[in-house]
Each structure stands twice: as C-alpha cells, then as structure tokens.
Amino acid sequence: MHMKRRTSGLFFSLCVVMALGAACKPQISLQVDRDHIKQGEEVTLTWTSKHARTVTLNGEPVAKSGSKTVKPRQTTVYEAVARRGKKEARARAQVEVEIPPPAPTLTFTAERNVILRGESTTLRWSATHADVVEITGLGRVPPNGSRRVSPSQSTTYTATARGPGGSETKSIRITVNEPPPPPPPPPPTTRTRTADDIAREFAENVRVIYFAFDSAELDQEAQSRLRAAVEWLNRPENRTVRFRIEGHCDERGTEEYNLALGDRRAHAARDFLISLGISPDRIETISYGEARPAVQGHDERAWALNRRDEFVYRGGGDTEVPLDGGS
C-alpha cells in the first residue's frame, strides 16, 4: 500500500514538471498590414510574443510586443525570433516590393539660341528609358538625333520624352532678331578744341610735382608724373604747346635762398623734360620762392604741399585734333 502511494506521487510530480516545461516554450506571431507595395511606400510590422525573454526582428533587439513602420526598397523577408533560454520560436512575413520602371531622362540643346532672320540653328536631343519622343513643330522624332531649323520668328521648341516610368519635358527658346540696318555714314574724324579746352587738358595731364625739404631732386613720383606729361605733350596735336614751370618753396629759409632753390627746382623739371624729347623752346621757368604758397600754414603738411613745381599753359596746340586723340 505504501509502495503504491509513493509511485502515484512520483508520477504526479513528473507530470507537473512536464506541464510547466511545455507551458514555458516561447511563442511569437508576426503580421504585416500589406504584403505587396510599390517602392517608396511604407508597411507596418506588428508582432506579439508569449513566454519570451528576448525578441529580435531581423537580428535587431525589439520589445516583446510592438510594431514598426519600414520602407523596404526591394522584396524583403522579415523574421521575428522569440527566445527563452535554449528554446526559441520564429515567425516570418514577406513583403513584395514592386520596383517602378526608371523615369525617362532628356537632354535638349541648341547650337545657337539667338539668330538673325534667315539664319538657322541645330537642335540636338538625347533620351533614355523613353518609348516616344516628340518636339513641337517637328512631331515624333527618334530618341537621339538632331534637326536643322530656321524659324522666321522667335520660337519655343518643347521636347517631351515618355516611357513606362513617366515623362520629362525640356524647352529651348530660339530668339530671332532682325538683321542690323546698314551702317551709318562714317562720323567726323576730328574735333575742335578752343584755347580753354587745351588749357583744361594741359592741367589734367601736366600735373604739379613735389620736392623733399631743401632739395631740388626729382623723386620717383615726380619722374613718373613728368613722363606722363611728356606722353601728352608729344601727341601730334600738342607738339606746339608752350608752358611755364614755376618753382616754389616753403616758408623756411631766407627769401634769397628760397628764390634760388625754387629756380633749381624749376630747372630740374625742365632738364628732365628736355631729356625725354621736349624742345627747350617750349619751356619757360620762373621761381617764386616762398611768395606764393599753395597752402597757408606753418606745419609739415603745409610745407610739404608748398615745396613744388607748378606747370602753366602759355599757348599753342592744334585746334583740330583726331577724335581718337584723347584729352
């Protein structure tokens, strides 16, 4: 009797253990809201699990139950795996992705976009993934080609390529201009100058030069200005221009000393101009010493502006000059 009870108890315990083990095996389900989509569309995956310690979706850990929106670019199989210890359960769902045909591409160019009436230009085009190519005014054309056109007025040509993947359109505007009128009679080749005009041109081109303290030497800036003056003085219409060089000083030094220094400054410019080809007969010189300051003042700025040679137009110069002679 005791042996019978023990056997019954052992059998009952074994059944409980087996029942619990079977109940603990993980379970999982996986659904998709759509199993067929077009490329670029979204689909939602939903999964639920029981008795699982971990769940993965295509190898990535996820919550034990949940949903996820994905956008597959191609047909894809999604697999959810529920694990509990060494036990696991799997569920799969496939989403078929319809890949649309490629969209047509189109290039459309013109040899020249602007022509004169009576002229022509060449249109060129090239299309891919297209069954039909049409151009306004030309009708249906091959996918690749060119055509010579000669519109009588400004025209917009529109090319359209169509295929299973859609269409693409490009436009080109050909502007047609009227031929230019015949050229007018040639303009005058000379212009007239008055004495005031020549004096103004002289002042613009033969400019004042400056000197260092107690010096009659021409620095680089002074030489550069004198060379520019020679360029104007040597123009054919200016080769008879006569002028005076006036030497000036600042207020420092005696009157006698400054008159001599102003004379040396005027002659320094005169000699430099003569060395560059200006006739001595065209040049007068005079020294005013400190008597005619350009700027009133008793500081370095005023003194620097008063140490100078000024150039004064005295006469001469052609009154009829070529229009390309400048000023």
Task: Measure the CA–CA gap between 150 and 172, rounded to whole angstroms.
Answer: 14
**pLDDT attached to residue 24:** 82
Tens of pLDDT, residue by residue, the chain (327 residues) = 444 444 444 444 443 444 444 558 999 999 999 999 988 899 999 999 999 999 999 999 999 899 999 999 999 999 999 999 999 999 999 999 988 899 999 999 999 999 999 999 999 999 999 999 999 989 999 999 999 999 999 999 999 999 998 999 999 999 999 998 888 888 877 888 999 999 999 999 999 999 999 999 999 999 999 999 999 999 999 999 999 999 999 999 999 999 999 999 999 999 999 999 999 999 999 999 999 999 999 999 999 999 999 999 999 998 888 776 444
Element (H, E) at 21: helix 2-23
**pLDDT attached to residue 36:** 93
**pLDDT attached to residue 14:** 40
Q: Which residues contact 289 (CB under 8 A, 6 or more apart)?
A: 248, 249, 255, 258, 259, 261, 262
Q: Determine contact, residues 115/177, Cβ cutoff 8 Å.
A: yes
Task: Enter the pTM of the model.
Answer: 0.44
Domains of the chain (ranges; CATH) run: 27-98 (2.60.40.10), 105-177 (2.60.40.10), 190-322 (3.30.1330.60)
From residue 69, how far is each of 38, 60, 131, 174 by CA, in Å? 15, 14, 36, 51
**pLDDT attached to residue 190:** 82
* HEC per residue, 117-136: CCCCEEEEEEEECCCEEEEC
Task: Measure the CA–CA gap between 327 and 321, rounded to whole angstroms.
Answer: 10
Antiparallel, parallel or unpaired: β 166-177 and 114-116? parallel
**pLDDT attached to residue 306:** 95
Helices and strands, number each (H, E), in the chain:
5, 22
**pLDDT attached to residue 204:** 96
**pLDDT attached to residue 23:** 56
